[in-house]
Amino acid sequence: MSAPLILALATLLLAIVSGVARLGRIPAALIAGLGSLALGAVSLLAPLDVPLQVGGLAIKLDPSLEILGRSLELAPGIRSGVGFIFVIGGYLFLGAMVADPGRYFLPMGILAVGLLAASLMVRPFLYSAVLVMLAAAAFVLVLASPDRHAERAALRLLAFAAFGMMMTLVAAWMIDRLGVTTGSPERAGSVIPVLALGLAVLLFVPPFHLWLPPGADRAHPYALAAVAALMQAAGLFLALRVLDSFAWVRADAGVRLGMTAAGILMIVLGGIWALAQVRLARAFVYVLLIDLGIGMLALGSGTAIGYQLAMGMSAARMVGLGAWGLGATLLAAGMGSDERHVLKGSGFTLPIPAVLSVAGLLSVAGFPLTAGFPGKWGLTAHLLREGSAAWWWVPAGVVLGVVAGLQWLSVIFGGGARTEPRPELTPLARSLGIGGVAIVILLGLFPQVAYPLIIGVISGLQALFA
Amino acid sequence: MGDGLGGNGGGAAGRGGPMTTVPALLEIVLAAAACVAGVLLLTASDRRVVLAGLGCAFIACSALLIGQVPFVVSLALMTSGLAATAILFLSTSAAAWPWSSAGAGALPEGRPFRLVLTAFIVVAVVGLSQGVNLPGRTVPQPILATAMGLIGLGALQLGLSERSLRVCIGLLTALAGFETLYFILEPALAIVALLGSVNVVVALIASYLLLVVRPAPPADGPA
């Protein structure tokens, strides 16, 4: 039996089952979430190429699957990445028990998670661009649910993904034909810009972040958070695999400089825009842009520790995104909108969603004692040790993001208690909300518990650590 | 047409099998047909003309590939393109055709404006394609110009409108151009199948947005 085939069939089955309307929101989210977590466990732990006895039946899991001359391979180097994608999916799908992000969130979300996982397994791996494009197509249905008019954001994401796919495929062909090596910088010079454009789409480097603001205006906050979380995780893995696979990319000083410059650009633009928003969702997407920019600085450091920190920050981002998505959903649903004047004093009306959304926002910004802080602290220290002139952009980005977060804290908990009746939260929403805040703070207080595990996800990319 | 770019048999020879190539004159006619179809996609507002243009673009592109790639690859491009067109035809039959003859709903969308921009794109890509020399592979100049022209026209369509259907048709136009070029470079069946599925998926998304998600209210900004 082929492990990728099992993963593909199970993903398809989960998508179909969770899409059955009669199932109800909570059972469907439970099936999708737990199923995705189970697939993550299979990807991480299943013994491959070893004969097993299951109920008297001898089976052996083959790590590869051949399709039309190309293969999907659950290779040791990427199986933790595949598992990570499924685990993020599971975490986000469980939140749908409360968030209710639309009818197509679960089936299309699972399908997209499966496609992103497959994009890590496909050989040659630059073909993954097509699978990422198909995942973006599935995300169109997640973002533009029938009751929301987020098609503008969804179509921008689709268009960017399509052009990113074209660039990556052309780059793959050029790499294959040109025979680029570290000894042929002139050939590398013609491939790298094409490849960089393809990857920039997935890493939301401006202007490819332009689907986020209209998404913040129209899409369901939880759906937006989930799509952003999954797409950037896939983008980060693809970027790390490119760095792992091609020594000439790692060796190119221009690549590191480009990543650092892109990171600084994201911090500056995100910082300016985050401070000038009148909607919580818009402020959040720009704080996210700052966070992604800091992640780019980690990649641009060109060191093993930098790559590990980029991975660690990506996982912390998931925690913040999930918390913010759930909190913002409950807050906007309870108050009727996420605009500044509507949210004034809403923290007294809906304290748990308010604290959850602000905690998520501050975590993504890198506020001390939240999940997002240790990675950024570690990166600042690392860049200082390396003598990088870009080190101070990390605290600058954190300050910009935190100021935006505190601005919203003062809006939400400012202006005194409101007189209107307090909307009731279900016990499940209350417990998920409290749990979300607890995770954000616990991971900030005890990063040593989770960081080694997260960093281990990319330990299979051995060339990065050679 | 310099540096051997006008040759027809590069791909066939490269694959070691005797393949019938499209005669040079027909190649030019097909390239012109694909580009005219691309221009219609950008400038026409009648449903039948737009969808016929899309179908023609895919047929012309796949015909151009005959002899350059295994026949099944050319057939796959035509099949997926026509399937996408059929999906759009069916869904636009069920829903109201969202483009009025006045062409409202996009930033500068007047037909003369579009024609001028289209002319710019066509002239630019024909000029640029003369100088393109792809490493390790000889691509006939009409095919190169067609591919780049359709990519350019598709991108222009994307830039001019945010209407769901126009965006999806723009994407399909760009994909038709890209696939025409890429299948010559990399005619692997797996990638042909994947890119074919991308065409169909984009058409399905257009249908979903047309039939399930109603058009956004004006507050969404320029459509």
What percent of chain A is modeled with pLDDT above 90? 60
Contact criterion met (CB < 8 Å) for A163 and B195: no
For tokens 């699972």, name the residue. A110
B-interface mutation test, from A64, A123, A155, most B Cβ less than 10 A away = A155
Question: What are the pLDDT digits (tens) for A289-306?
Answer: 999 999 999 999 999 999
Chain B residues lying within 8 Å of A154, measured CB to CB: 209
- Decide: B64 and B55 in contact? Cβ < 8 Å: no
Q: Does residue B221 belong to any structural domain of this protein?
A: no
DSSP string over A229-248: HHHHHHHHHHHHHHHHH-HH
Question: What is the pLDDT confidence band of residue A61, given thresholds at 50, 70 and 90?
Answer: confident
Chain A residues lying within 8 Å of B190, measured CB to CB: 67-70, 127
Q: What are residue A279's phi and psi, to 5 degrees?
A: -125, 140
Residues recorded for chain B = 223
Q: Does residue B220 belong to any structural domain of this protein?
A: no
Assign 3-class secondary structure to B128-170: HHHHCCCCCCCCCHHHHHHHHHHHHHHHHHHHHCCCHHHHHHH
Query: Average pLDDT for residues A174-188, to the nearest whole number?
Result: 78
Q: CA of B144 to nearest chain A CA: how many angstroms apart? A: 14
Cβ–Cβ pairs < 8 A, chains A and B: 93
Q: Does residue B81 belong to any structural domain of this protein?
A: yes
> How confident is the model at residue B16, as a pLDDT?
42
Q: Which of A52-66, A199-213, A322-336 has the lowest mean pLDDT?
A: A52-66
Q: Does residue B170 belong to any structural domain of this protein?
A: yes
Q: Could you list the pLDDT tens digit for every one of the 223 residues in chain B?
A: 333 333 333 344 344 445 566 677 888 888 888 888 888 888 887 888 899 999 999 999 999 998 889 999 999 999 999 999 999 999 988 887 666 544 444 445 566 666 676 677 767 776 666 666 676 677 888 888 899 889 988 988 888 887 888 899 999 999 999 999 999 988 888 899 999 999 999 999 999 998 887 665 554 444 3
* CA distance to A155, A218, A226, A227, B161, per residue, from A214 (Å): 10, 6, 15, 14, 15
> How confident is the model at residue B17, as a pLDDT?
47
Question: What are the pLDDT digits (tens) for A86-144?
Answer: 999 999 999 999 998 988 999 999 999 999 999 989 888 778 889 999 999 999 999 99
Contact criterion met (CB < 8 Å) for B190 and A69: yes
Query: Average pLDDT for residues A342-366, to the nearest whole number?
Result: 93
Residue B147 is encoded by which pair of tokens?
Answer: 């591919």
> How confident is the model at residue A450, as a pLDDT?
82
| Position B173, amino acid | T
Question: What is the pLDDT confidence band of residue A377, given thresholds at 50, 70 and 90?
Answer: very high
Q: Does residue B1 belong to any structural domain of this protein?
A: no
Domain tally, chain B: 1
Residue scoring higher pLDDT (A74 or A13): A13
ipTM of predicted complex: 0.90
Q: Whole-prediction pTM value? A: 0.89
Q: Is B167 within 8 Å of chain A by CB?
A: yes
> How confident is the model at residue B114, as a pLDDT?
67
- Decide: A30 and A106 in contact? Cβ < 8 Å: no
> How confident is the model at residue B20, as a pLDDT?
63
Q: CA of A299 to nearest chain B CA: how many angstroms apart? A: 30
Q: Is A51 within 8 Å of chain B by CB?
A: no
Question: Which residue range forms the structural domain that includes residue B138?
Answer: 10-214
User: What residue segments make up the domains of chain A, in order of their start?
Assistant: 252-466
The alpha-helical segments, DSSP class H, found in A275-392 are 280-300, 304-335, 340-343, 346-349, 351-365, 373-386
Contact criterion met (CB < 8 Å) for B164 and A151: yes
Pick from B151, B193, B220: CB nearest A152: B220
Chain A residues lying within 8 Å of B220, measured CB to CB: 149, 152, 214, 218
Residues contacting A236, CB < 8 A, separation 6+: A203, A295, A310, A311, A314
Residue scoring higher pLDDT (A345 or A52): A345
Query: Average pLDDT for residues A198-216, to the nearest whole number?
Result: 89
Which of the residue ranges A16-25, A30-39, B24-33 has the most confident prediction, judged by mean pLDDT?
A: A30-39
> How confident is the model at residue A154, as a pLDDT?
93
Residue scoring higher pLDDT (A277 or A75): A277
Q: Is B185 within 8 Å of chain A by CB?
A: yes
Q: Which of A318-327, A337-346, A450-459, B110-119 has the lowest mean pLDDT?
A: B110-119
Q: Is A127 within 8 Å of chain B by CB?
A: yes
Q: Is B220 within 8 Å of chain A by CB?
A: yes
Question: What are the pLDDT digits (tens) for A252-277?
Answer: 899 999 999 999 999 999 999 999 99
Pick from A68, A140, A152: CB nearest B216: A152
* CA distance to A43, A191, A295, A454, B101, per residue, from B210 (Å): 38, 39, 38, 42, 18
